[in-house]
Amino acid sequence: MPLRRSVLALIIAALLSLPGVPGLAQDAPPEENVPAETLPVYSLGQQCLYISAGLLIPLFFQSFDGDYSRTNLSLGAAGFLQWGIHLDNHWLVGAEFGGMFAKSLQENFLYMLPIMAKGAYIFHLYPFELSPFLGTGMVIEKYGDKARVDFILKPGFSTVWKYNTSWGFGLNVSYWWVPQPWRDDPDKARMGNFLDVTATAQYNF
């Protein structure tokens, strides 16, 4: 039953149970006030798919000694596909695959493809869902004819407006932290810091 009808039915039942209202609750014994239970939106095994696209903002590079430097990258674009499975009404685990590109000062393109596991906790504030999440995994980087694989940590949060029980639309903001050690010359090791802001569409099934 769609969520809206469930809520409406609950309201009607609550009204009918008031004293003096003819109807179903005439013989109910007097009780202390019992708080109504929150209706769960998700349950174990429910799955979801997200597709997201938007901007990637290169923030800064940082050496492992703490020095900051420019990225010499333009604003880029990012896109992701995510699959998740609900463990209960709040916890979600899943996997995400995506990519970004941005142009360098010398007009070459940097590509980064993160492949991550993700976990999220969903706060239900009907009709919105707010979910901080944490993704971790690997990112494949390519620049010119050079390629490498690095670790990525990607915290963020998502705000989704529930259009109905199946669809939702919203906004993701996430921070990319990509440490890039280099054994050949540790002075050239850097940590990449990026921010992505993407619009997202969610489908639950």
Helices (H) and strands (E) in the chain, counts: 1, 10
Question: Segment 9-38, which members bind other proteins (CB under 8 A)?
Answer: none
User: 171-185: buried (b, 16+ CB within 10 Å) or exposed (e) per residue?
Assistant: ebebebbbebeeeee
The one among 192, 198, 200, 202 contacting other proteins by CB under 8 A: 192
Torsion sign across C-alpha atoms 39, 43, 47, 52 = positive
Least gap, CB of 105 to other proteins (angstroms): 4
Secondary structure (H, E, C), 156-172: EEEEEEECCCCEEEEEE
Residue number with CB closer to other proteins (135 or 168): 135
Residue range at the interface with other proteins (CB under 8 A); choices 75-83, 123-131, 139-147, 167-175 = 139-147
Regarding 113 and contact with other proteins (CB under 8 A), the answer is no
Say how far apart CA 90 and CA 131 lie, in whole Å: 9
Regarding 189 and contact with other proteins (CB under 8 A), the answer is yes
Residue number with CB closer to other proteins (63 or 201): 63
Regarding 137 and contact with other proteins (CB under 8 A), the answer is yes
Residue number with CB closer to other proteins (138 or 201): 138
Check: CB of residue 137 under 8 Å from CB of residue 114: yes
Residue 70: CB atoms within 10 A of its CB come to 10
Least gap, CB of 15 to other proteins (angstroms): 36
Give the residue among 172, 137, 168, 158 at the shortest CA–CA distance from 53.
172
Regarding 132 and contact with other proteins (CB under 8 A), the answer is no
The one among 152, 158, 168, 202 contacting other proteins by CB under 8 A: 152
Give the residue among 95, 104, 50 at the shortest CA–CA distance from 75.
104
The one among 2, 40, 127, 181 contacting other proteins by CB under 8 A: 181
Residue range at the interface with other proteins (CB under 8 A); choices 21-29, 30-38, 161-169, 175-183 = 175-183
Q: Which residues bind other proteins (CB under 8 A)?
A: 61, 69-73, 87-88, 91-93, 104-108, 110, 116-119, 134-139, 141, 143-153, 178, 180-185, 188-192
